[in-house]
Amino acid sequence: MSPVFEVANLKKAFGGLAVTNNVSLTMSPGDRIALIGPNGAGKTTFVNLVTGNLSPDSGEVRLGGEVVTKVDAIGRVRRGLVRSFQVTRLFQDMTPAEHVGLAVLQRDGKTGRMFGNFLRMPDVMAEVDDLLGKLGLTFLMHRKVSEIAYGQQRLLEIAVALALKPKVLLLDEPAAGVPQSDTGRIEQALADLPADLAVLMIEHDMDLVFRFARRVIVLAAGAIIFDGLPDDVTKDARVREAYLGSYANASHIA
């Protein structure tokens, strides 16, 4: 199967300090990868580099075989690379329907017809209804974001991302800040993502990582120190020293 996303020898330094140090990885359709590592490991910088929010010092980013290293963030979204953020970036005065409808129109290059008009577009509203329905948000579709719970806002972010029809989805701590009582709905949304979608998730909750990931990549000091199966990550001496520590020794993992 041909890779849908490739990073080759990516490097980035700030003031002489290498924060992304010769990072390479490949993703195929359907991959479920967790990117983990200690604070300061370079995870967010890596995501900013591959999504076009930062320019690397060297290395390449490829989508579907096309080199996109010099393509801007919007251009990468149009090619199928979509991300969510650790902290929600929704518009508090807009509704879920408006968020998803705008994403659909943006994807189709029709943003000039947004808001008052798109509610009367049957094709757009059918997609809005479908996406919000799958994430259990239909009953909130016309409420302002400021009026809905934070866990539901995180679900809405996933709906907006899916409306852009990504080939590669980067999730930055999708359950961050969500009450424990609502994390089950986030996990179900992750389980229900399209089977052919390549997903890379940054996450600190190791229980969530082990339930989600089929492959784990560990970043430390800007470099990949492990890339392999979840069952093997807790056995790796470098990972135990750099990150997992007592978690790797817990009885439910041993």
- Residue ranges per structural domain of the chain: 5-88+166-249
Residues 71-126 pLDDT 10s: 999 999 999 999 986 556 788 999 999 999 988 888 877 665 555 566 778 888 89
Share of the chain above pLDDT 90, in %: 60
Interval 203-235: pLDDT, tens: 888 889 999 999 999 999 999 999 999 999 988
With vertex at residue 92, the alpha carbon angle to CA 90 and CA 93, rounded to the nearest 5 degrees, is 125
Residue 167 has pLDDT above 60, yes or no: yes
Q: What is the pLDDT of residues 10-31, one digit of tens each?
A: 999 998 889 999 999 999 999 9
What's the one-letter identity of residue 124? Answer: V
Give per-residue pLDDT as tens, 117-165: 667 788 888 999 999 999 999 999 999 999 999 889 999 999 999 999 9
Cα–Cα distance for residue pair 217/16, rounded to 1 Å: 25
What's the rounded Cα separation, in Å, for the pair 175 and 161?
15
The whole-angstrom separation of Cα 105 and Cα 113 is 8
DSSP for residue 244: I
Single pTM value for the model: 0.88
pLDDT of res. 179: 82
Q: What's the pLDDT at 252? A: 44
pLDDT in the model for residue 120: 76
DSSP letter at 187 equals H
The correct answer on CATH 3.40.50.300 for the domain covering 5-88+166-249 is yes
